[in-house]
Structure formats: structure tokens, C-alpha cells
Structure 1
Amino acid sequence: MKRNGEVIESFKEMALDWKVPDPTNRHCNPGVSEPDEIEYDQHCEPSNLCKIIWNLTECHGVVPPQPYYEACVASGCSEQHPSTECQSMQTYAALCGLHGICVDWRRQANGQCDASCSQGQIYKPCGEAKRNICFNREVIMDTLPSQNNTSMFVEGCYCPDGKILLNDHDDICVSVCGCTAQDGSVKQPREAWEHDCQYCACDEVTLNISCFPRPCAKSPPVNCTKEGFVRKIKTRLDDPCCTETVCECDIKTCIINKTTCDLGFQPVVAISEDGCCPIFSCIPKGVCVSEGVEFKPGAMVPKSSCEDCVCTDELDVVTQTNRIQCVPVKCQTTCQQGFHYVEEEGQCCSQCQQVACVANFPFGDVTIEV
């Protein structure tokens, strides 16, 4: 029998006429191909799953159970899989729901036909055909035929009481209709928030998100007058979304004059007080300088004069090098008998020269001049 009450002989034609959407999978496309003719063994033992249809007596008066029972048995015998029988039972229950009769047949199936719902949704054997959705507030399953304004029941996955479906494609249930923010959270209508340096708001009419760049305070004019400093645009430390113009040292802009230091001095680098450029200067090394050679304190300093000289640790305020202290060379002027010390011009110390011979006798020494 077809929906309009016409009795026909073709089981295939009858089945196609009663085809309805799958309430547990609203996004599934059933396709357009027609099933092959079903042949089954008349002696196949009907399963207990198909027999549940006889327990749904409250619907027998509006939807005759016999054709659907036979279809369930035929499916089970040809496919040998409980899912085909579940589909037959689901079809009969859906037709009962269209007539406003609620049948909870899955509870009698001992877990063979349990419906699974996405996280956050629950299964209802007798849900309303009108699904409340945030965006358009109310969606009627227009694929289902109306029955003279009779209340219809549709089994399927629904939001728990007190929650509403955010949209018709994400299966997300929310307590309050809102916008899905960039991080996946749900924002309430007219709620404003900040994301990625933008101000965003949830439109209460369209539930769309609108964003615009967050304004930043205008930086005051900056003049960099100190040596080595230039203007640069930097991210604000107190607000990473905004920038400011600051004076920053850039040593590449400095004019550097390196200084060559004299003996006894070493170069040092300092930073100018009113800038950031390096300044080279020479400071004493704490050594003595003589004849183009540096000497450390305590070292002997050779001199051409008849003096012994040593490098001291005393600073000469005029030369800014250490002082060299010198004392006259002490000469050996005492000569042995027969020799006489004779000074020679241009020499610091002279030598003893022989002026007599000394003969040793038992009675004494005798000197004989030469």
C-alpha cells in the first residue's frame, strides 16, 4: 500500500514511495539509485528484531504493520545483517511519527539498533519535527509530508533541554545563541571581545562576527639630537598591538676616529655622556720609556752615562710616564802594590796601571820603579 492508500503488487514501488530521511543522520544523502528486486527464502526464520513491530499496537490502526514486517523479514533473510532489519523498523517508526504516534522501538531491540549522536546531543525517540536553530530560530523538516496539521514526531539526535542548535551543519548545542569566535568559543549577541589586535562583536541579528583594527594612540613627535641616536618604530612594551617612535642608538651612524698612542700609553674606549658613540683616548701604561723602549717598574734601564738607572713606579706628572732613577757608577780605585789608578778621558771607570815591580825578600819587599 502506498502513502495515498493505493494497494499495489510491487514491493519495490511501495518501498520507494515510503522512503523518508534518516533522522539520526540528517546530512546523509540517500542517493537516487533504485534497489534490486528482493528475493528471499519463504522458509527463513524471522528474527526477534522484526517481531518488535507487532508490539507497536498503538500505530497499527494508522500504519498497517504486515507489509513492513514482511519487508523486515525479507531484508534480514537476504542481507543476514541486523542493520537492514533496523532500517525496516526505523521506517515503520518514522511513519508512525508522521501520524503523531510515538513509538520507542529501539528500547526493545536489546542494543542491536542503538542510535549514536555526536557529543553534546542526545537521542530522542519522539522529538519535534521543528528544530530550533540559532541562525534562523526555527527549521521545519520540510522533507516530511504534513498530515493535516497533525503533530508529528521525528526520532533523532537533539539538543538537551535548555539548549539550542547553533547551526544546521556543526551539531553544536549552546545555552544561548551567539557567534562562533575565532578560538571556537561561543559569544553572546552584542558581546564584544579582542582578538589579534582587533575589536570584534557578535551581531545580534545575523549572528555574524564583525571586526575592525584596534585604534592606537598617536605617538608624539620625536627628535633625536644626541650623537649616534636615530628614530625607530618599535612595538610598545605595554601594548604589543601598537607601535611608538623612539630614539635608539645606531653605532653605524657614528664617526669613529681611532687614536694612535705614543710609547708608554695604551688606547681605551669610552661612551660619550650625551650620546652613544665610542670615544678613543690614550692613558698611561705605568711604564718607563727610554730610547724608544718601554721598561716595567723595577727593570734596569741602560744609559750611556756613568750611571746605574732603574725604572720606578713613580709617575712623572709632565711626561705621564714613570720616572727613571739614576745613581753614579761606583768605580774600584784601590790598586794593589806596584799599580796606580789612572783616570782615562771618556771612561766611567779607569784601570790600575803597573808603575813598579815588587820583589819579595826575607827581610821585606823591595819596590823597583819601571
Structure 2
Amino acid sequence: MCNSFLKALFCSHQNGETWRSNNCTTETCENGKHITTHVQCNVTNIVCENGQPPVKVYDENGCCFHYECKCVCGGWGDPHYVTFDGQYYSFQKNCTYVLVKEITPRHNFKVYIENVNCNPTGTVTCPKSLIVYYKNYTVILTQERGAKTVNKVYVNGSLVTTMFTNNDMTITNQGIEMRLTIPKIEAVVMFNGLLFSVDVPMTLFYGNTEGQCGTCDNNTKNDCRLKNGQISPSCSDMAYDWRVSVDNTPYCNGPPPPPLPSPSPTICVNSSPCEILNSEVFKECHKVIRVQPFYEACKFDVCYTTVNMGCSSIEAYNLMCAEASICVDWRNATKGVCEYKCPDNKVYKPCGPTVVQTCNARYNEQFSQQCNAEGPQNKNCNSFGEGCFCPAGMTLFSSTSDVCVSSCCAGPDGKPKELGETWKIGCQECVCDKNTFSVVCKNVKCATQNPVKCTEGEVLVNKTVDCCVTPTCVPKDVCVFNNTEYKGYEYTDVPGSCCGKCIRTSCVVNVPDVSSPPSQTWSKDQCTKYDSSSSM
């Protein structure tokens, strides 16, 4: 037992008693001494079959962590797939398929992929869109391809612009890629036309995914899972089993077409730009991400499609590097083959932020609050990617525009204003101030009025002209009230009141039954036959 003196100083518990004082320490009262011991964490290193480095996942107390593998499924080109656990395969069929689906519904999350023919022979397909279902949302990430390729994002059928955010998700569109982040389940879905990826945490989805992305459990042996739960020997055969019926593609609802003959072996002399994958450009990424599947896919695409199609394999590998927090500036090394041209008002960055700051302070604050609430591990807060961004010294005007501005000034119509530009709102003159880079408004300056003398039969009144009080002479039978003239009234002060009122003294009427009669002034008593009111 602690003696009373020591206990009073050091112990509030019995001798030998142990308790938790916070998440990461254990306290013990031992012979009058207060002993603090840090919680011991057992950390076991793991090897991920997908070749990616494991990530730290902290427990609820934030004291200890364990390692988990990342579940990142991706596809690119015509197209080539890599499952969550790193199984590589190719699948060239059009129609719509389940990419990711929960075996046992827990988070109400699934992803479909729509493939279309991208060459006249029908032997090669390309991803057209990803369809993400979450809660009561349907999000479509797609592209309109023509003379100019345009990214399109739809949320429950409504087109959204550069950025979209609410309590459930954040969507960004930086020109090259569209990215959907769902913080609650830590899911990230990316699409840029020839490249797509789905990233989910193993903590929430372990052993509970199926579809073309396979099962998220760090085991490649069960990646080729069919709808009936059996494992196919070939993931390419498995992929077709996940076809779904879609109303606008009736040709996809029948039996599978006979398999097309595989392309005859060809010796490809030109493997450019694929060699960049094995070059020093990706040296740092080679240490953590296996490059061989991407290199083989690149050579296949260059041989059987186009050189530009080979760029998608490099983009895919670069995406995996970015997911591992490795920034690679690779496009210049292709000597223009894989160049990406941004709009005139933006510049290309290989590692820009996934969510950019705007002139909308409330939008920026909402995003910051989400990051603070979700902690430092939040993927959307700390990730980066290539895209088109505002030049240095310029800011995106709003999350719903694609306009870069040098100052965050907005006019009354909500549109941006240039530095030094002036405009008028009511009785205020506003300017986009060059010093504060913001809108500064001041009351309209009024010139000093010269003395005004009225003639006989007139009275001096104050009228507001262009926001300035202007002394004006009016006839005695005209009352000016709220800047409006009332003929036949006289302004009279009301004792004890700040404002007077107009008292009717006469009225002006048109003589009835006379074509274009002249106006006549009648006495107050005569007005009652036309208007019984006597004052305003």
C-alpha cells in the first residue's frame, strides 16, 4: 500500500494498480511511485503480392499501427487489367461489366466499366466510362471524343463542372483525369479515358470484393472469381462473366460472341515510347512498383494499335508511382509522342494537387475541415496527380468555373473583375483594389452644391439625383416625398417625428368627357368628388 503521504503526492490508486491515462501509455502505482509505460505495439512486416509497398494503418486509438497491402485495381490501353492483388491480364470486349462489387453488401459501393470498340475491326476496345454507385448516388466519369476530347462528370444525371463536393464525396477534374473520392470508405476512383483505377482500403474491403478487379485479400490465386463464386483458370475468361445488361446496348444482352482470333505474332521493331518505362526517368519508381507488365502492355499496344495508345501504359505506371507518393515528370522524355496540351489559360504540372484552392473561401474552408476531420491519412488531402492548373500567381476563380484570375474580385453579376477595374453598385463605387487584391467599395462622392435661390411661387426642397442630395426649386403646390413629386400636396413637418408628411391642398384632374382636356387645378374641397383622401 502507498503510505498516505506518498499517495497524496504521487498515487491516487492502490499499490500495484495499473490503468490507462491516455491512448498510448499505461500508468502504475508501485511503492509510492508513479510509473509511466508506453504501450507495446507488435508490428509485423508483410509482402504484398501486387508488388506495391505496404501502408501503415493506425488503430482507433492512434497509438499502434499495422501494415496492410493497398488494394488498387487499374486498367489502361485496349484494355489491360491489373487486379487488386496484382494479377495482370488483357480483355478486349465491348459492353458494360462489373469492375468492383461487394460480395456481402456493407458500404453500398460498386463500380461498372463501359467498353466500346475503338478500331474498325472490333478487335480492340477502349474504356468509355466508369459508373460508380454509392449510397443513392450514381456518378458517371466519361469522355466526349471528337476533334477535341472533353471530360464529363455526371452526378445523378446532372452535369458538374471542374469540382464538386458535399458531405459524401469530392470530385475533381483537372483536364487530364477525373477523380472521385469517398472519404467515409476511403475509396478513390480515377478515369481519364484510356486509363482508370479503383483504390479501396483493405481494412474495409478485405475478402469482400468481386468483379473484374478480383478479390482484395493479397492472394492472386482467387482473383479470377466468377459470379457463382468458383475460380476460373483464366482472368480473361472471368472478365466476360461480369457483363451486365444495359438498356441502350441491346446487342450486349445476347450470348457472348465467338472469340476472335488472336493477333498473329508480329516482330515490332518500333517500341517507342515504351523504352522510357525501363529508363532512368522511372528509376525511383522501379524500387517499389513492378514495371514489366506495363512495359509488355505498352509494346503490345504499339504493335497492334497506335503509338499514342502505348502512352496509356506509361500513364498507368505513372499513376501507380503517384499512388506510392513518387512524382515522375515523364512526358517531356517522350519527345512529344505523349505530350499533353492544356488550354491556353492553364499550364501542365506532373504533380499538382488533386483539389486546388479557389477564390471561394467557403469552398476552401470546407475542404480544409474535411481534411482535418479525416486525419493525415486521407488520400484526397495528401495525394497528387498530373493535370492542367492555373499558372503561378493566378487562382482558379471558383469550383464551378475554369477561369484563372490574378485577383479574387467578383462583380455584382458574380463574374471576375480585373485589377483596377471599377463598377457601381447602388450608391457605392467599387474597385478591384491593386493592393489588397479584393473588392473595396465606398459611397459615391458628391460634389459641393452651389447655393440655390427659388423664385416667387417656388419652394426649396432636397431631391436625390445620382445618389447625391441636390437642392431643387419646385412649385409651392408640389410636395417631394421619397424623391417623388406629388402635385397638389404641400410638405408639412410633424412635431416629434423625424419625418413630415404631404398634406393635400389641391388636386389636378382631367375634365371628363372631353377629348384631350386640359389639366385643371381644383380646390381641396372640390377634390372629394374624385378622391376622398385628404393626406398622404
Same fold (TM > 0.5):
no
When the two structures are superposed, what TM-score results if normalisation uses the length of structure 1? Answer: 0.44
Greater length-normalized contact order (CA 8 Å, ≥ 6 residues apart): 2
Look at both structures and tell me which one has the larger radius of gyration over its CA atoms. Answer: 1
